[in-house]
Chain A
Amino acid sequence: MAEASYVTFLVGLLAATLRVATPLLYATIGEVYSERSGVLNLGIEGIMFLGAFVGFAAAARAYAGGWPAYLWVGLAAAMLAGALMGLLMALLTVTWGLNQHVSGLGITLLCTGLSLFGFRLVFGESAVLPRIPPFSQLDPLAGVPILGPIVSQYLLTYIAFGLLVPLAAWVLYRTNFGLQVRAVGENPEAADAAGIAVFRIRYAAVVGGAVLMAVGGAFLSLAQLGAFSPGIIAGRGWVCIALVIFARWDPVRAMAGALLFGGVFALQLRLQTQGFSLPYEILLALPYLITILALALAGRHAPYPGAYLKPYRRE
């Protein structure tokens, strides 16, 4: 390859990394909040799927109705759907104190079934995949070499990196609410004794987290694809579960992790299209293997939230 094409390759890779990392980042931050409050939400895969479907279905309806802001209608609908599923998850695991991993997997199965059912209901069995014009990318530095194509991204990507991560970190570490989230996830008994409303804080963290997961899913259908397909999430939720551990339950490290994993995916896609014979599955499996390795190395010192997986019951 000539030097110029290396540059094009790298620029394209960087731009793609930011795009691929965006849905991971939303959902991972959502999961960080949920787990920091003591609730492992394995519904993440399904909630992302539901967000992608509901976002697309609502946007398609609004588009057909001639609404100019149809994509935002879709995003709002996806957030609402995520909130409802978060409420269900919180009802099961916080109020009723049921087994978190079985509840979460149940929610994933439910969201998957409901989305596929709903897709048939709304769009019928047409052979052509319904499409809508997706969000367009902002291009603030149009014409500038190298930097221009890298910062040509969706607004949702700008929000994720520029707003969500600093905000999530600030809220978690610098506000009263964040302190309460960490307290109920670390030691709910002590938090309760200190007058913190354990159940209410956990509800807020789980529901808010689920909204972010749904946004992550909706980004894929509303920005990246402008369509919905059964393989749209394809395990991204499980990647986020790995990312949370990799990031040691920290929003800023979650961003670093999302960029790293996003970079691996983007690289994999590029190598595939350039016809490299390396099995791309090896690259795709890396995030999982790295996380398991990181856990094994951290061993007993892995900084799980103290009340992780433990329901709280008031005696």
Chain B
Amino acid sequence: MILKLERRPAPVWVRPLLPLLAVVITFGLTSTLVLLVGANPLAAYYHFLVEPLSGRVSALEVLVKATPLLLTGAAVTFAFAGGFWNIGAEGQFLAGATAATAIGLQMQGVPPVVALPLMVVGGFAAGMAWVAVPALMKTKLAIDEVVTTLLLNSVALLAVSALLNGPWRDPISQWPQSPEIAATAILPKLIPRSRLHLGFVLAVLVIVAVGFVLGRTTFGLRLRAVGLEPEAARFAGIRVERTLLLTALVSGGIAGLAGMVEVAGIHYHLIEAISGGHGYTGILIATLGGLNAWGALAAALFIGLIDTGSQTVSRALGVPIYLGEVIQATLLLVTLAVLPLQNYRLRWARRQGDG
């Protein structure tokens, strides 16, 4: 008897195990780097995964780090599930952060019940606007969206830089950072003496909404049909271009919201490094979550843990903090490689010539 791989969908219970398998493989691969530094990999992974959860401050920090990732993860999940390959969450994030700053600067004396919804709408709309050009080029001209969304990330970063080195340059410090937004435009803290803010609740609500729309609504069904097989969807009477356009706009909007949440919840002003790759991490989270909102929720929390853990492990063992980035990148590639296994089954087969 030998084990054979058969091209047949794996049992349902295998699916959630595959990301776990990816995590184990990733830790195995990256432990070589820990050994290179002369540290003990087991100790390193203890500091990565357990230590941050053992203290109140660092456990809350995991949620703080996860907040923008929940949103960019939701944005990318939504787009990828619908077959719109939005690589531009980074740019849409920056657009949302810029719009939120612009609104927040004008909110002196405006009560938070007015200011905060305005910023939410502004951030969402800016993200939508930033993805609109690639989305229209895709739906009207059939131009592949991968490169157009990617290139607009660089444009967004340059636009932010132009603002921060020009009209928004801090008049006192002369640093390339915007003045602070109004106090009433700041997302309130959920827990005093922590950085956890209302944006976390918003992010969870958004990802639940994405899960609901994708899984329980006709629009979600249409969206996934377009994502799986656009020609078949068209044949079934779905308006493919309209669905794609809506998918792209909502995805861009959610990514823009992530930018708004970071400005209004953490930084209170715009800086060039406001995102620092959250949009790209959204791609990791969507992939790790298997293009499923609940999977993305778990993945964002896990990456939040890794982000926090890379600081703990660096402090405790002197491992360069960039180990966290290597782990995330490796995890993305390993997950990508492992997930197709859900289309296979292991089966005992008789060897040729066996009795």
Q: Smallest CB-CB separation from B327: which chain A residue?
A: A113
Given the known inter-chain contacts A109-B329, A113-B326, please indicate yes or no for A121 contacting B37, CB distance below 8 A: yes
Interface of B, secondary structure class, is helix
Residue of A96, A107, A279 contacting most chain B CB atoms (<10 Å):
A279
Q: How far is the CB of A248 from chain B (nearest CB, A)?
A: 13
Residues of B within 8 A of A309 (CB): 144, 146
Q: Smallest CB-CB separation from B314: which chain A residue?
A: A120
User: What's the tally of chain A residues with a CB closer than 8 Å to chain B?
Assistant: 45
Query: In the assembly, what is the distance between CA of A2 and CA of B323, in Å?
Result: 55
Residues of A within 8 A of B146 (CB): 40, 42, 101, 309
Contact present for A285 and B141 (CB under 8 Å): no
User: What's the tally of chain B residues with a CB closer than 8 Å to chain A?
Assistant: 47
Contact present for B328 and A109 (CB under 8 Å): yes
Residues of A within 8 A of B139 (CB): none
Residues A94-138 near B (CB distance < 8 A): 96, 98-99, 101-103, 105-107, 109-110, 112-114, 116-117, 120-121
Query: In the assembly, what is the distance between CA of A109 and CA of B303, in Å?
Result: 14
Contact present for A295 and B143 (CB under 8 Å): yes
User: Is B154's beta carbon under 8 Å from chain A?
Assistant: yes
Residues of B within 8 A of A98 (CB): 336-337, 340
Residue of A96, A292, A304 contacting most chain B CB atoms (<10 Å):
A292
Given the known inter-chain contacts A92-B333, A92-B336, A99-B336, please indicate yes or no for A116 contacting B153, CB distance below 8 A: no
Residues of B within 8 A of A299 (CB): 141-143
Query: In the assembly, what is the distance between CA of A300 and CA of B326, in Å?
Result: 39
User: Which stretch (A63-71, A176-184, A238-246) binds chain B?
Assistant: A238-246
Query: In the assembly, what is the distance between CA of A113 and CA of B327, in Å?
Result: 8
Q: Mark B139-177, 1 if CB is under 8 A from A, else 0.
A: 001111011101111110111011001100000000000
Contact present for B144 and A300 (CB under 8 Å): no
Residues of B within 8 A of A110 (CB): 326, 329-330, 333
User: Is B280's beta carbon under 8 Å from chain A?
Assistant: yes
User: Is B344's beta carbon under 8 Å from chain A?
Assistant: no
Residues of A within 8 A of B154 (CB): 235, 238-239, 285, 288
Interface of A, secondary structure class, is helix
User: Is B33's beta carbon under 8 Å from chain A?
Assistant: yes
Contact present for A96 and B340 (CB under 8 Å): yes
Contact present for B280 and A105 (CB under 8 Å): yes
Given the known inter-chain contacts A106-B336, A238-B153, please indicate yes or no for A279 contacting B328, CB distance below 8 A: no
Contact present for A109 and B322 (CB under 8 Å): no
Q: How far is the CB of B347 from chain A (nearest CB, A)?
A: 21
Residues B49-102 near A (CB distance < 8 A): 85, 87
Residues A180-218 near B (CB distance < 8 A): none
Contact present for A296 and B137 (CB under 8 Å): yes
User: Is A15's beta carbon under 8 Å from chain B?
Assistant: no
Query: In the assembly, what is the distance between CA of A113 and CA of B331, in Å?
Result: 12
Residues of B within 8 A of A88 (CB): 333
Residues of A within 8 A of B12 (CB): none
Contact present for B151 and A101 (CB under 8 Å): no
Contact for A300 among B141, B157, B161, CB less than 8 A? B141
Query: In the assembly, what is the distance between CA of A92 and CA of B33, in Å?
Result: 22
Q: Smallest CB-CB separation from A88: which chain B residue?
A: B333
Residues of A within 8 A of B236 (CB): none
User: Is B1's beta carbon under 8 Å from chain A?
Assistant: no
Residues of B within 8 A of A308 (CB): 144
Residues of A within 8 A of B157 (CB): 235
Contact present for A281 and B325 (CB under 8 Å): no
Q: How far is the CB of A46 from chain B (nearest CB, A)?
A: 9
User: Is A302's beta carbon under 8 Å from chain B?
Assistant: yes
Q: How far is the CB of B116 from chain A (nearest CB, A)?
A: 30
Q: How far is the CB of B151 from chain A (nearest CB, A)?
A: 4
Contact present for B325 and A289 (CB under 8 Å): no
Contact present for A245 and B283 (CB under 8 Å): no
Residues of B within 8 A of A302 (CB): 143
Contact for A117 among B162, B165, B287, B323, CB less than 8 A? B323
Closest 6 CB pairs of A and B: A113-B325, A109-B329, A110-B329, A120-B320, A113-B326, A281-B162
Could you write out 23 A-B pairs with CB less than 8 Å apart? A99-B336, A102-B332, A103-B333, A103-B336, A105-B280, A105-B332, A107-B329, A117-B320, A117-B323, A120-B322, A235-B157, A238-B150, A238-B154, A239-B154, A242-B151, A279-B165, A282-B158, A282-B162, A285-B159, A291-B151, A295-B137, A300-B142, A309-B144
Additional pairs, 4, CB under 8 Å, beyond known A116-B325, A117-B323, A279-B166:
A102-B332, A109-B277, A113-B326, A242-B151
